[in-house]
Amino acid sequence: MRDNERNSGFSPVTFILLRSLSSSGIQSKVDLGEHQGKLAIRKRCGFGLSLDELQTLLDAQLVYRQGLSKAGLIIPENLSSRVTGGEPYFLENIDCWIEGDNLDEIIKSPTSSPEKRAWAWNTIIETIIDIQDYAGSPCSRVLIDAKPANFIFSVKDNQAYYVDFFPPLLRGEDGLVSPYFEVVFKRSRELMTFNYGDTRGQITKLLALAKLEYSDYYNYLLGLTMEGIKGRIPSTLENYIISQARESFPHMSLFYSQPPEFTLTVIRALATT
């Protein structure tokens, strides 16, 4: 990414729209098109934020991408990132298009072989393990939303790309996700940090999702998870995940059904264990 593009304000960027795509992201509009002669994906997000807030997220996003790459995640080439628009303003990212299926499609497809489904699931588990803080704490070195739809398998490169960069998930001096804007996250900083930056939250959130969306394969995916984490994460974290799975993920259920004050109390208690 070139600095003059990243900070270019409202200078024109040529993007030839081919078609709009559906998006499960936060306040995102996603399009497929061409940019600089390359097939590209454009994501527009952050609607409703001020110019200063969007600039803060733009700057944080650059640091976030660098952190993801340093942690070993494979991410698409970024072609342009900027704040643009006008009432509303928004953050626009243009990345190289990755041709392939996202891991959600591979896992839930009845035509996927057991081997391919296992590979897709294990790719996510391995990613979560690889970004652990090796000091033994539950905190990961980078924060990611490790849901299958955020990974795309490229047939050309024979590897999985992580493709979710908004909002950028950095860790502030207090250990919590930063920068934080409630209108973007919708949930508390503590819950976002647990879900995206704590091995326990990342894996139990993923398993709770699997139980809902991949019910036909859930027991198989659970078995792969337990096999994948055994002896590779601290025993306290492993025991927490086993306990939550055995009890159908009571913490995840409570986090999304109880007032924020309750969530905060539970997460603060987890921080001491």
pLDDT tens per residue, range 8-29: 444 567 899 999 987 655 568 9
Instruction: Give the mean model confidence (pLDDT) for residues 252-267.
Output: 80
- Does residue 222 share a domain with residue 125? yes
- Expressed as residue numbers, the domain containing 210 is 105-271
- Does residue 112 share a domain with residue 23? no
Position 135 confidence tier, pLDDT thresholds 50, 70, 90: low
- Does residue 173 share a domain with residue 54? no
- Does residue 131 share a domain with residue 92? no
70: CATH: 3.30.200.20
Residue 129 and residue 174 in contact, taking contact as beta carbons nearer than 8 Å: no
- Does residue 114 share a domain with residue 62? no
- Does residue 40 share a domain with residue 119? no
Residue 159 to residue 60: CA distance in whole angstroms = 26
What is the structure's pLDDT at 23?
67
Instruction: Give the mean model confidence (pLDDT) for residues 153-165.
Output: 93
Calculate what percentage of the chain has a pLDDT beyond 90.
Answer: 71
Q: Which of 34, 66, 96 represents a domain boundary (last residue)?
A: 96
Task: Provide Rg for the chain, Cα atoms.
Answer: 19
Residue 151 and residue 162 in contact, taking contact as beta carbons nearer than 8 Å: yes
pLDDT at 182 > cutoff 90: no
Signed CA dihedral, 4, 10, 16, 21: sign only? positive
Of 81-90, 166-175, 252-261, the one with minimum mean pLDDT is 252-261
pLDDT at 7 > cutoff 50: no
Of 27-31, 54-58, 117-121, 168-172, the one with minimum mean pLDDT is 27-31
Position 257 confidence tier, pLDDT thresholds 50, 70, 90: confident
Structural domain count of the chain: 2
What is the structure's pLDDT at 4?
33
Strand order in the sheet with 29-35: 16-21, 29-35, 38-45, 89-96, 78-85
- Does residue 198 share a domain with residue 151? yes
- Does residue 228 share a domain with residue 120? yes
- Does residue 188 share a domain with residue 242? yes
- Does residue 171 share a domain with residue 58? no
pLDDT at 136 > cutoff 50: yes
- Does residue 234 share a domain with residue 206? yes
- Does residue 133 share a domain with residue 56? no
